[in-house]
């Protein structure tokens, strides 16, 4: 460990692994460490032994759940939105060669005390109970407006300005009912709360287009998912990094982040060894406890909490047409909350659990001091629950850009249903570390010899 590195990365979560992969390809000498003996950090997928070790240290997994190795239970419930930024990074870096993806079978929304499919075809839209006949015509006009919008062609604008007019104005222009607005804003634009309504319409427009183009790509839902769980994603980027010379050390306790008199980063101490580097990137959990140590500097702030309940079921979720995987969104208005509740379910189809087991993860932003009560409306939709693991995770954000001390901290995984904010964080950290925007280059594929 007496070599000196360009960058040390702490934590093998997806954000950190994408960064170390890209940095290694860029020619940086990277040392990537994790305190755990598995890859994935806060975004890992765990087998049964690891899952029980984390949530029930004194209990071993029941035999009725089947083989340990068949399990890869995600700690953070997210799906990949097919036309999103993560897909672009996966394709550009060519890590897709290490991965295999399947669709998520359905996308549902909770409304008026029942689960309805988010329509994916004209046919489904016509028969959907989500809108009445007249409302369907109004919605059709609204979607045609979005599809036909061209920035440089005012005749497509119908007198609206997406950058100035609020989404409220756009909804009103097309006379859409509150229930339809709920469905569009939460089940398609995937907003967690209603703050977007009074803001300019442009980001909402972008999000709806992202949703519909993702939907159009593979058909059943806008989402895809890697076989063997989300934990495969950080592993594939770690492999990319390693192929380009990155050094990996798991199971390595991080005891101190060493800085000089001016507070600038010097190195990382593990036990009696200190390894030096020019820059440090780390997930926020490495900067909360005593490891952050030196002079008690506050490097991360908690800006909220997420409650997540991993539920093992022995059946598909009632009302989802027996889907082997799905997302169910419970818009905040439907249950008198400020933030939506999400259910993400995957199964043996995705090689993440034994046959006839279904892994549903319920999550939302914590609003009260009784988070478990907050998720009850979603839990009640699941039917009998075989076992449940609840966690309440703080969402950390760095207090500084890192440019003054060369310590660059990533953000916690938020409550959104996909990875778009993770990629935003990657782009943000990249810019802070390198000093210029992240530009994806097509990876040289000469390592394949036919």
Partner 1 sequence: MSKQFQFKLVLLGESAVGKSSLVLRFVKDQFDDYRESTIGAAFLTQTVTLDDKTTVKFEIWDTAGQERYKSLAPMYYRNANCAVVVYDITQSASLEKARTWIRELQRQADPSIVIALCGNKLDLSARRQVSQEEAKKYADEEGLMWTETSAKTGEGVNEIFTAIAQKLPLTAPSANRAGASRTGPGARAGVDLNKQAAAPGQPEACNC
- Interface with partner 1, residue 91, by CB under 8 A: yes
Q: Which is nearer to partner 1, 45 or 417 (CB)?
A: 45
Question: What token pair was written down for 345?
Answer: 């379910």
> Per CB under 8 A, which region of 85-93, 193-201, 305-313, 373-381 contacts partner 1?
85-93
At residue 205's C-alpha, the angle toward residues 201 and 207, to 5°, is: 120
Q: Least distance in Å: CB of 134 to partner 1?
A: 15
The interface region with partner 1, picked from 223-231, 290-298, 316-324, 414-422 by CB under 8 A, is 223-231
* 158 lines the binding site for partner 1 (CB under 8 A): no
- Nearer Cβ to partner 1, position 98 or 386? 98
**Helix 202-218 crosses helix 133-148 at what angle (to 10 degrees)?**
100
How far, in Å, CA of 269 to CA of 253, rounded? 9
Handedness of CA 130, 326, 389, 426 (dihedral sign): negative
Cα 107 from Cα 187, distance rounded (Å)? 8
> What number of helices (H) and strands (E) belong to the chain?
12, 19
- Cα 195 to chain centroid, rounded: 20
Closest CB 294 distance from partner 1, rounded Å = 26
Q: How far is the CB of 349 from partner 1 (least distance, A)?
A: 10
Region of 402 (left: φ > 0; alpha: ψ -120 to 50; beta: rest) is left
Q: Is 224 in the site for partner 1 (CB under 8 A)?
A: yes
For partner 1, which residue of 120, 323, 332, 410 counts as binding (CB under 8 A)? 120
Cα separation, 423 vs 430, whole angstroms: 10
By CB under 8 A, how many residues form the interface with partner 1?
Answer: 56
Contact window for partner 1 (CB under 8 A) among 138-146, 152-160, 269-277, 379-387: 138-146
Residue 447 touching partner 1 (CB under 8 A): yes
372 to 343, 367, 389: CA distances (angstroms) = 14, 11, 11
- Closest approach, Cβ 145 to partner 1, in A, equals 10
**Spatial contact of 12 and 39, defined as CB atoms under 8 Å apart:** yes
Shortest Cβ distance from residue 103 to partner 1 (Å)?
6
Q: Considering only residues 202-221, where is the footprint of partner 1 by CB under 8 A? A: 209-210, 212-213, 215-218
- CA–CA separation, 359 vs 311, rounded Å? 6
14-25 and 420-434 helices, crossing angle to 10°: 40
Q: How many angstroms separate the CA atoms of 145 and 205, rounded?
A: 10
- Residue with smaller CB distance to partner 1, 178 or 448: 448
CB of 266 to partner 1, least distance (A): 22
| Residue number, 73 or 215, with CB nearest to partner 1 | 215
Cβ proximity to partner 1, 216 vs 392, nearer residue: 216
Q: List the one residue from 3, 4, 144, 322 that touches partner 1 (CB under 8 A).
A: 144
The Cα 313–Cα 4 span in angstroms is 49
Binding mask 19-38 for partner 1 (x = CB under 8 A): -------------------x
> What does the binding site for partner 1 look like in residue numbers (CB under 8 A)?
38-39, 69, 82-83, 87, 90-91, 96-98, 100-103, 119-122, 125, 139-140, 143-144, 146-147, 209-210, 212-213, 215-218, 224, 227-228, 232, 235-236, 238-239, 242-245, 247-252, 447-450
């Amino acid at each position: 460990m007496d070599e000196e590195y360009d960058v040390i990365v702490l934590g093998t979560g997806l954000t950190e692994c994408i960064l170390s992969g890209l940095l290694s390809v860029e020619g940086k000498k990277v040392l990537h460490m994790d305190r755990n003996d598995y890859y994935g950090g806060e975004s890992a997928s765990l087998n049964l032994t690891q899952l029980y070790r984390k949530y029930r240290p004194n209990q071993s997994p029941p035999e009725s759940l089947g083989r340990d190795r068949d399990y890869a239970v995600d700690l953070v419930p997210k799906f990949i939105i097919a036309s999103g930024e993560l897909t672009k990074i996966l394709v550009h870096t060519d890590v897709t060669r290490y991965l295999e993806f399947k669709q998520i079978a359905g996308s549902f929304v909770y409304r008026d005390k029942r689960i309805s499919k988010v329509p994916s075809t004209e046919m489904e839209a016509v028969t959907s109970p989500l809108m009445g006949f007249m409302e369907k015509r109004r919605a059709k006009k609204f979607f045609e407006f979005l599809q036909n919008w061209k920035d440089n062609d005012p005749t497509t604008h119908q007198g609206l300005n997406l950058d100035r007019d609020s989404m409220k104005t756009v909804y009103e222009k097309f006379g859409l009912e509150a229930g339809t607005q709920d469905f569009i804003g939460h089940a398609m634009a995937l907003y967690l709360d209603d703050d977007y309504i009074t803001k300019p319409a442009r980001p909402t427009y972008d999000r709806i287009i992202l949703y519909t183009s993702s939907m159009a790509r593979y058909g059943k839902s806008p989402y895809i998912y890697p076989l063997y769980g989300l934990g495969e994603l950080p592993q594939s980027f770690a492999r990319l990094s390693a192929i380009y010379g990155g050094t990996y050390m798991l199971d390595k306790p991080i005891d101190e982040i060493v800085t000089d008199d001016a507070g600038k980063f010097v190195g990382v101490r593990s036990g009696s060894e200190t390894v030096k580097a020019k820059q440090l990137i780390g997930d926020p959990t490495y900067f909360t406890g005593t490891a952050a140590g030196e002079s008690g500097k506050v490097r991360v702030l908690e800006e909220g909490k997420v409650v997540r309940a991993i539920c093992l079921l022995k059946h598909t979720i009632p009302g989802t047409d027996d889907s082997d995987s799905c997302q169910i969104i419970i818009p905040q208005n439907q249950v008198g909350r400020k933030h939506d509740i999400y259910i993400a379910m995957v199964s043996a189809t995705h090689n993440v659990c034994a046959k006839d087991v279904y892994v549903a993860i319920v999550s939302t932003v914590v609003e009260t001091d009784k988070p478990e009560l907050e998720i009850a409306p979603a839990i009640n939709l699941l039917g009998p629950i075989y076992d449940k693991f609840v966690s309440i995770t703080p969402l950390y954000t760095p207090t500084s850009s890192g440019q003054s001390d060369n310590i660059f901290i990533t953000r916690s995984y938020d409550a959104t249903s996909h990875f778009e904010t993770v990629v935003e964080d990657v782009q943000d950290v990249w810019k802070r570390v390198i000093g210029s925007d992240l530009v994806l280059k097509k990876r040289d594929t000469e390592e394949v010899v036919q």
